[in-house]
Every structure is written in C-alpha cells, then in structure tokens.
Amino acid sequence: MRDRKENRVSSQKSRSKKLAWLAGIAIVCGIVYYGRQQTVKPVEPIVTTGQQGKRPDSLAAYAKSVMDKNHLAGAIGIVRNGKLTTVTSGMADLKKRIPNSSKQVVYPIGSMQKEITGAMVMQVMREKAHTDQAFSQDTKIARWYPNLKHADQVTVGNLLTHTSGYAVPTVEYARHQEYTDLGAVAWTISKIDTTDQLPAGSYIYSDVNFILLAGIIKKETGKSYSQNFYDRVAKPLKLTHTYIRQDLPKKLHLAVSYRYVDPNYYQRAISYAVPVSTQLPGAGNLVSTPADFYKIQLGLENGQLLTEEEFSKMTHLKAKKTLYSGGVYLKKHETIHLAYGTLDKEHYGAYMQLTADNKNGIIMLINQRQQSERKLKRIAFQILKRIKARTFSLY
C-alpha cells in the first residue's frame, strides 16, 4: 500500500517535471520565434502605375528582384505591349524616411533631356519656316553667336549631333552660383573661346552643344528655356511630375542620390543642387518620373510634340557621324531608341531603351548604385530580355 502510494507520488512528480520541461521549451521557442519575427525586413511594395493594390505580375516581381540583388534604389518603368508598369525599390530620402514608392518622388534625367531640347529646336524651326527668320539644320550658328570660335563653320545640325568639335570638360563642375539661360551660355562661350577645340565636324560628346541650343531657343522665341519647355512640352502632354530643377514645387520630392559601398547602403548622400542645374539649361536641368518620361516619348512621334516625319528628320541629321542624332541613339538597325544620363560627382543614373514603336522597353531612374554606366546597362539588359527576347541592345 505504502509502496503503491509512493510510486503514485513519484509518478506525479515525474509528470510535473516533464510538463514543466515542455513548458520551458515552448517559452524558449516562442521567444526565438518572436525574435525572428521582429528582425525580418518588410518587403517593400511594388508600385504599379494604374494598378495599385493588385497583385504584381511576374515581370514586375523579377525587376524588383534584380534591383534588390544589385543594391539599386530608384524607379523603373517597364513598358510591355504599350503598357507602363512602374517598379520601385529602396529609399528616395533616408533622412526623411521617404521611400521611392511615394508618388511625390522625382529624379534627375540628366542627358535624356537632350532629346527634348532637340524636339523643341525642331518645333521652333517649324514655326519659323517660310518666314524671313527661317533656319534649318544647315544654318551656321554664327547667326546667334557671331563672336564664338568656329561659329561660321558649325551648324545647328552639328550641335544636335555633337559634331561641332566643342567640348568643355568642366561644364558640370559646381560653380556655386545660379545662372540665367544666357548667363550659362555666356560662360560656355567664354570657355570655348579660351581653350583648344577640335575642328568643326569632329565628334565629341559634350553638354555645351545643347546649352548653345537652349540659347538659340531663347534668342528665337524671346522666352526662357523653362517657359518654352512648359508651353511646348509639359502643358500639351499634361505632365504632372516633370519640372526644371529650380522650379520644383514643394509638394514633390527630389530623390537624394546615394552610393552603395558594400555592405553599406545609402552612403555618400548628395542631391542635385539648384545652382549646378542652372549651369546646364537644355542639357540636364530636368527632373521627372518614368511615367511622365514615357508620355514624352510617345509625344515625340504621335503629333503632340513632333510628327513622325519631324522625329525621323531629327534623328537622321546630315551632320551625324555616329548612331547619335537629336539627343538619342538609334541602335540595332534603328529598331531601338536609347539614351543615358548621369551627373558629375553624383550617383544618379538615368537610362531609356525602347523599341522604335515605343511599345516595349524600360525607363530607369536610379538614385542609389555602385555600378558604372556599362554595368548598369548590363543589369537593365537582364530585365529587357524578359520583356522581349532577342530585341534589345546590351549597350
């Protein structure tokens, strides 16, 4: 009897110890699980133009994975069968906690602006036709810049194709002052006149060509480059997120540029300063989004900005010596339109590659990267191959 009682007591103690041990394990597991939950990084949402709240398609998800794998922050407009989807990743402003998925974020487009400047020149050319102020791609720029070196040999077409021979390597260096359009032109002229330049007809890519074109637009219309842009481009296309940098409204936020320095994100922060932007009228002083820039691409050929014939003329100028003409490269037997832009000392990267019918391609606006231009294009090519195989250019 006593033995059975002692055995029963012993058995109860054993069960109690086992239950206590199991409870302890459960608590530890719960703590570990909870801790793991707290350290999981949230997946940033993919913003799909016109499709917010819907499940992203596999192409958008793939583009997001490519951005994350390569430590890119920014926005990529994916164009497939004429439909644009915007994919974002990372932060536009780490300090202010503004993500690139915000609808208020815009990005510098750098040299991708040159195509827009070229179109504005073509518009002015059209308006002046059949008047005593008519000019063409063959008109010498001495008409506007009589004292500029080689101006009696350089044509409008030379400026539009970077075959003027002009170059000023320091044009994007910060000068810590703001310029008017003609002030920026005057600085450019003084540098050209006081430095060695290649003969007219020589190809050398330089912002100064399009700064001089911005000056021609100003001289021919009597209005600033910015006013011409708003009247000729922004208003007809109903652009809501494209502005001259110095005119950017407070409701919009310019993405800060960052460098990814392995393994650290968001290093070496630097923004596109207004004074520097005023140095580059017509050549790199616009900010935009993939959606707005796609509207511009469509407008360049559908009659809203230029007719198809005018766009063809702009991209096939007689002065061209490369695949570049009027602000854009025509590649792969002219089936592809391509442009790239960046800014000196900053980490932005802007890249556009679209099929000639504007129905497939990408518009990439990046504000964090570690890659060179060629490496960034190789990353973009991974996405382009998914959009339409055996179609796009690697570079």
Task: Kindly report the CATH number assigned to the domain that includes residue 369.
Answer: 3.40.710.10
How many domains are contained in the chain?
A: 2
Query: Residue 8: pLDDT above 60?
Result: no
Higher-confidence residue of 292 and 22: namely 292
Residues 26 and 107 in one domain: no
Residues 169 and 314 in one domain: yes
How far apart are the C-alpha atoms of 388 and 140, rounded to whole Å? 43
- Phi/psi at 168 (5° precision): -135, 100
Residues 294 and 276 in one domain: yes
Contact partners, residue 388, CB within 8 Å, separation at least 6: 80, 355, 360
* Region at 3 (left for phi over 0; alpha for psi -120 to 50; beta for the rest): alpha
pLDDT band for 120, please (50, 70, 90 cuts): very high
pLDDT band for 57, please (50, 70, 90 cuts): confident
- The amino acid that residue 210 corresponds to is F
- In Å, how far are 112, 160, 169, 215, 218 from 182, measured between CA atoms? 22, 19, 19, 6, 8
Query: Residue 364: pLDDT above 90?
Result: yes
Residue count of the chain: 395
pLDDT band for 20, please (50, 70, 90 cuts): very low
- pLDDT at position 229: 99
Q: In this structure, are strands 336-341 and 257-261 parallel, antiparallel, or unpaired?
A: unpaired
Residues 159 and 182 in one domain: yes
Query: Residue 9: pLDDT above 70?
Result: no
Q: What is the pTM of this model?
A: 0.86
74: three-class secondary structure by DSSP:
strand
Q: CB–CB of 236/202 below 8 Å? A: no
The mean pLDDT value for 30-55 works out to: 36
Residues 59 and 21 in one domain: no
The mean pLDDT value for 23-50 works out to: 36
- pLDDT at position 142: 99
Residues 137 and 223 in one domain: yes
Residues 127 and 246 in one domain: yes
Condensed to tens digits (0 to 9), the pLDDT of residues 242-258 reads 999 999 999 999 999 99
Picking from 110, 88, 69, the residue whose alpha carbon sits closest to that of residue 291 is 88
Domain that holds residue 205: 46-395
How far apart are the C-alpha atoms of 283 and 109, rounded to whole Å? 10
Range with the poorest average pLDDT among 6-20, 35-49, 119-133, 329-343: 35-49
Average pLDDT over the chain, rounded to whole? 90
Condensed to tens digits (0 to 9), the pLDDT of residues 193-204 reads 999 999 999 999
- pLDDT at position 256: 99
DSSP 252: S
Query: Residue 301: pLDDT above 60?
Result: yes
How far apart are the C-alpha atoms of 209 and 165, rounded to whole Å? 9
Task: Please give the torsion angle defined by the CA atoms of residues 271, 245, 115 and 358, in that order, rounded to the nearest 10 degrees.
Answer: 80
| 3-state SS record for 4-43 | HHHHHHHHHHHHHHHHHHHHHHHHHHHHHHHHHHHHCCCC
Last residue of a domain, one of 25, 40, 55: 40
- pLDDT at position 48: 40
- pLDDT at position 12: 46
Condensed to tens digits (0 to 9), the pLDDT of residues 213-235 reads 999 999 999 999 999 999 999 99
Residues 31 and 76 in one domain: no
- pLDDT at position 21: 46
- In Å, how far are 21, 25, 57, 140, 167 from 107, measured between CA atoms? 58, 52, 25, 35, 26
Condensed to tens digits (0 to 9), the pLDDT of residues 157-207 reads 999 999 999 999 999 999 999 999 999 999 999 999 999 999 999 999 999
CB burial readout 228-246, b (16+ within 10 A) else e: bbbebbbeebebebbbbbe
- pLDDT at position 47: 37
Higher-confidence residue of 43 and 301: namely 301
Range with the poorest average pLDDT among 45-54, 57-66, 141-150, 351-360: 45-54
Residues 51 and 33 in one domain: no
**% of the chain exceeding 70 in pLDDT:** 86
**Which tokens in the block code for residue 94?**
């780490």
| CA 385 distance to own-chain centroid | 20
Residues 71 and 138 in one domain: yes
Residues 82 and 12 in one domain: no
Residues 105 and 218 in one domain: yes
**Which tokens in the block code for residue 267?**
């290093």
